[in-house]
Structure 1
Amino acid sequence: MLFKRRTQARLGDRIRGFLWPRRSFLRSARYFTKRVLRLTAAPHAVAAGVAAGVFASFLPFVGFHFLIAAIAAFLLRGNIVASALGTAIGNPITFPFIWAATLGLGRYILYGQNPGNLVPLQLGQVMTQLDIVQLWEPLIKPMTVGGIPLGVLVAVVFYSLTRSALVAFRERRRMKFAARPHRASGSLL
């Protein structure tokens, strides 16, 4: 490997770096932005891919976000790599807010103003047994119902932002390369 570490990082350092970046979250966000802007696909394909990834992040099926995003990107004729990058909107910092919003909206859509008990009383026991049937009605179903409209809304916003940013980035880049002096072909100097 070309850029391999000389000393392997300890497990604790790797976990810490995964949950809390060494440099900053802003630097990570800039990295993802540059990765998306430098993709070579058409502006619609990149923007549709990012939108598919953002939409998938609003669904409660953690662990399947990449797969859902790839399927949605394929159906929208979007870029699959961009869809994987778009799922980064769902991360340990944003998930509590996304889940609270999708659960609240889903419960409002399904049950109206007074939804009753929010979660089952034995949530810890249900989670240790991973009994999806008991989690479906109080949590997963409302989060899915609330996640679809919220995910579509935020995905549309990200589609328009990504497409306009990509068009502007490519135009600036084209103008920058056009302003450079041209070298004579075959010249060694």
Structure 2
Amino acid sequence: MRAGLWNRIRDNVWPRMGMRRYGSYLRKRVMRLSASPHAIAAGVASGAAVSMFPLIGLHFLLGFVLAFATRGNMIAAAIGTVWGNPLTFPFFFAASYAVGDWLTGGGGGISASEGQQLEATGAHLSHGLFSEGFGAVWPTFKTMMIGGLPMAILVFGVFYIVVRTVVTRFRAIRQARFKRKHPELRQPAQSSTN
């Protein structure tokens, strides 16, 4: 494997600049987008919400579709999909499965017999996923999709409220700072005439 390809793969899993600086960079990118607070919040929320579904490889496309439907910003949607990454997917998918299992009448967790069944299914799949077809993973996939829907709605709502609040405050602070630096640009007070 070429060094360039390896570096790109590594940077997608763990950014070279570190997670804290990468998060700060993404936050600044979102704050400086030239869209309305609603468009930015809806875009980021769309990208984050679709990360709850086990559709790896389709999150960008689904984020763009949801952002379009909610009149969100497409760049913000792409940034929002960063919420789903190789470090967070195991937690999201486990939670999606638990919620889906609970919604379909299961206990919301994995019992000992289900654990043995999943272990046997995993061993079976490792020896012939392509020979068995999609039917072998369909029950688990369906449960995760069912559980992913309420989680996506919750994540969308939380991200929308937080991002819209932060963007609105950031713009108000930036506008006030600009007015303090450039008092000559203030509108002259209109005098009232009778």
Q: How high is the TM-score relative to the length of structure 2?
A: 0.82
Secondary structure in structure 2 of the residue aligned to 1:111: coil
Alpha-carbon offset, residue 161 of structure 1: 0.4
Q: Deviations over 1:97-138 (max 9, x none)?
A: 11110011111211322774346241213545583222111x
Q: How does 1:137-156 map to 2 (within 5 A)?
A: 137=139, 139-156=140-157
Rg bigger for which structure?
Answer: 2
Quick one: distance in 1 between partners of 2:148 and 2:157? 14
Secondary structure at the residue paired with 2:127? helix
Given that 2:43 and 2:76 are in contact with CA atoms closer than 8 Å, whether structure 1 keeps it comes out as yes
Unpaired runs of 5+ residues, structure 1, are: 1-7, 185-189
Pair 123,9 (structure 1): closer, same or farther in 2 beyond 3 Å: closer
What residue ranges of structure 2 are gaps of 5+ in the alignment? 186-194
Q: C-alpha separation between the residues in 2 aligned to 1:124 and 1:105?
A: 26
Residue of structure 1 in register with 2:51 after alignment: 57
Shift of 1:182: 5.7
Aligned to 1:47: 41
Among candidates 11, 16, 33, match of residue 5 of structure 2:
11
Counterpart of 2:126 in structure 1 is 124
Shift, 1:22, TM fit: 1.8
Alignment of 1:59-74 (within 5 A): 59-74=53-68
Preserved contact between residue 126 and residue 135 of structure 1 (Cα < 8 Å)? no
Indicate whether 1:102 and 2:96 are aligned: yes
In 1: Cα distance, 2:69 partner to 2:180 partner: 39
Cα distance in 1, alignment partners of residues 57 and 98 from structure 2: 22
- Given that 1:54 and 1:154 are in contact with CA atoms closer than 8 Å, whether structure 2 keeps it comes out as yes
Give the match's secondary structure for 2:53: coil
Residue equivalent to 2:171 = 170
Paired residues for 1:82-97 under 5 Å: 82-97=76-91
- In 2, are the aligned partners of 1:126 and 1:134 still within 8 Å (CA)? no
Alignment match, 2:158: 157
Change (3 A) 1:129 1:67: farther
Count the aligned residue pairs. 176
| TM-score, normalising length: structure 1 | 0.84
Q: C-alpha root-mean-square deviation of aligned residues, in Å?
A: 2.3
Shift of the alpha carbon at 1:183? 7.3
Asked if the contact 2:37/2:168 (under 8 Å) is kept, the reply is yes
Cα deviation, 1:8-40, whole Å, max 9, x if unaligned, reads 964333332232222210111111111111111
